[in-house]
Structure 1
Amino acid sequence: MLKEKLKDKYITLETTPPKLPTVDLMIEKIEKSEAYKYIDGFSTTDCPLSKLKYNSIIAAYKLQEKFKKPVIATMSMRDRNKIALQSDLLGANDLGVTHILALTGDPANMSDQPKAKAVVEGSSILLLEIIRAFNNGMDYAGKEFKIKPKPITPFAVSNSYAKNFSSIERRIFKKVQNYAVGIITQPVYDINIVEKLLEIKEKVISEFNDERKEAEIILGFFPITKLKTAQFLHAHVPGIYVPEEWIEKLIKAHKISEDEEYKVGMELSRNLFQQLLKKHPKIHIMTANRFEIVKEFF
């Protein structure tokens, strides 16, 4: 189980199911890349950027069946009310999908579907509360199930950077308070920021005297191989910091050639990954489904 692996080395790989009536092509791509050999588990995203995609829970089930590794299925608050959240949890439970990432979700106005409306009865904290109720054998209304659901392991997310890190601390505390076992961060590109996040984690878990003391930070890792990616993340994605050193090196490489740009980006990313492994080997790899590059970091 992933919960046990959190005590040691823990590497997961994010997958984004396609906008297709099957996830088999993505599974074939993972198999061909051999990325599954290097990781402890997967995650499936839930219609990121509010774009229509294949169902995250069913994708998680099919990945588990194929690779015999646990999968964290993302559930977005954007698309579900309390009824739908609990209904999906019951179905996921029956399929053995018991690792759930609680996510508020991207705004519906970003959707590729005309006039799509968000549901959002609450933030991801509501889903964590629902999972806690399920783990106590009852629904959110406090009514006991005739058959107790399998234990659910809840995960949550966090920004990796803020001008004032106390805001990150408050959010992480709230999620750990609601029994999130692992907090997956946005991508990190600076070891000094890793240090701050780990300090925050230690401070947060010191507030508890039960199983919440075991909560862990899982560092997001997204390799940068293009200058435009580095500039976009740094300038337009809240909660991510890309060091100026990375941008300067990629600018120089970009002026030489596309191949040099890729080479420099991969070298920077590979060195970072090795640093993360030494510092805190609990890492969530995000590659935008470029599964073939995973093996380059091991």
Structure 2
Amino acid sequence: MFETLIEKLHDPKKSYITLETTPRHNADFAPVVDTIENLGLHEKVDGFSTTDNPLAKLKFNSIIAAFLLQQRFEKPVLATMSMRDRNKIALQSDLLGANGIDVRTVLALTGDPAKISDQPSAKGVFEGDSTMLLDIIKCFNAGIDYAGREFDIKPKPIYPFAVSNAFSKNPKTLLKKFSKKLEHGAQGIITQPVFGTQNALELLELFEEAKSLSGIKNATLILGIFPVTRLRTAQFLSSHVPGINVPKSWIDTLYEAHKKGEKEEEERGLTMSMDLFEEIKEIHPKIHLMTANRFMLAKKLLEVT
């Protein structure tokens, strides 16, 4: 299962699509899994991801959510692990537990600041950034813990992923971050959402340069796509989320459609998102689809594949 995903990831001729899921603020992840099955999305993607308390808001555990998705669909799930919430002891303990239930694709994330949490006085741990988790995974794959102690029963292979911004005013910043995460062992790096082919091509060029500089060959860039069907969403992403560049043409088009009504706005946004999805697949068929659990929207995009 995992080997097939990684083989698809690194084969330039093969399509690779993963779908992000966000566990909710409750004690049951089954409704999310049921919705995915009812819409047949599991038949249209190569795997899934589960987020880990995004924006420092309390949600169902990402590793258990990943296990439930894998158990139902027999497809690998990238379980996100945030440095914000765990020290190196907890990180390693969670990795061991995840390994025991065969959750072995891990998305290493530094995490949003605890100060924006919905939990009063929550404190971030942040013993290191996401590269520490990548280094821990390297150790586990060598049969030792982060302190160098051998395991009596060695973990099964773990496949590490990382994330990246999709835009920077200074491209060298992205190049440096790509190189750093490659050097620490990331097999795939998922970008924040892209909104144009030029943005995608620039990222791919920077990634290839980073691979050359770091001497890493077996790694792949995965382009994030977030379908936008509302003007307010496009404006929020453009104004408040660093590392994303929503083109003015998108905002202007949605603004004109918004004046004609909600239906026109949604239809225009969906058309632009579907066109982008098709264009990106032609350029680089390695895509991570993010819909904030709007799975019907994911279905509409994936039906054209």
Same fold (TM over 0.5): yes
CA contact (8 A) 2:182 2:214 kept: no
Distance of 1:142 and 1:220 partners within structure 2: 35
Secondary structure at 1:201 match in 2: helix
Cross-structure match for 1:260: 264
Asked if 1:245 corresponds to 2:284, the answer is no
Cross-structure match for 1:147: 153
CA contact (8 A) 1:253 1:264 kept: yes
- Per-residue CA shift, 1:236-274, capped at 9, x if unaligned? 110000111111110100000000000000000000000
Cross-structure match for 1:227: 231
Matching residue's letter, 2:263 = D
- Aligned match of 1:4 in 2, 7, 10? 7
Deviation at 1:207, TM superposition (A): 3.1
Distance of 2:294 and 2:199 partners within structure 1: 26
For residues 67-106 of structure 1, what are the structure 2 equivalents within 5 Å? Answer: 67-106=73-112
Secondary structure at 2:213 match in 1: coil
Cross-structure match for 2:72: 66
Cross-structure match for 2:117: 111
Cross-structure match for 1:39: 45
Percent identity reads: 56
Deviation at 1:208, TM superposition (A): 4.7
Asked if 1:272 corresponds to 2:264, the answer is no
CA contact (8 A) 1:19 1:53 kept: yes
Distance of 2:106 and 2:150 partners within structure 1: 21
Distance of 2:40 and 2:113 partners within structure 1: 34
Matching residue's letter, 1:149 = P
- Per-residue CA shift, 1:199-223, capped at 9, x if unaligned? 11111112355xx311110000000
Matching residue's letter, 1:233 = L
- Aligned match of 1:163 in 169, 173, 179? 169
Deviation at 1:21, TM superposition (A): 1.2
CA contact (8 A) 1:184 1:218 kept: yes
TM-score (norm 1): 0.98
Asked if 1:187 corresponds to 2:193, the answer is yes
CA contact (8 A) 2:36 2:42 kept: yes
Deviation at 1:12, TM superposition (A): 0.1
- Per-residue CA shift, 1:153-173, capped at 9, x if unaligned? 000000000111110110010
Matching residue's letter, 1:37 = E
- Per-residue CA shift, 1:117-163, capped at 9, x if unaligned? 11110000100010000010000000111111001000000000011
TM-score (norm 2): 0.96
Distance of 2:92 and 2:25 partners within structure 1: 24
CA contact (8 A) 1:35 1:292 kept: no
Distance of 1:190 and 1:164 partners within structure 2: 18
Asked if 1:290 corresponds to 2:259, the answer is no
Cross-structure match for 2:61: 55
Distance of 1:241 and 1:207 partners within structure 2: 26
Deviation at 1:103, TM superposition (A): 0.2
Secondary structure at 2:168 match in 1: coil
Secondary structure at 1:251 match in 2: helix
RMSD between superposed Cα atoms in Å: 0.8
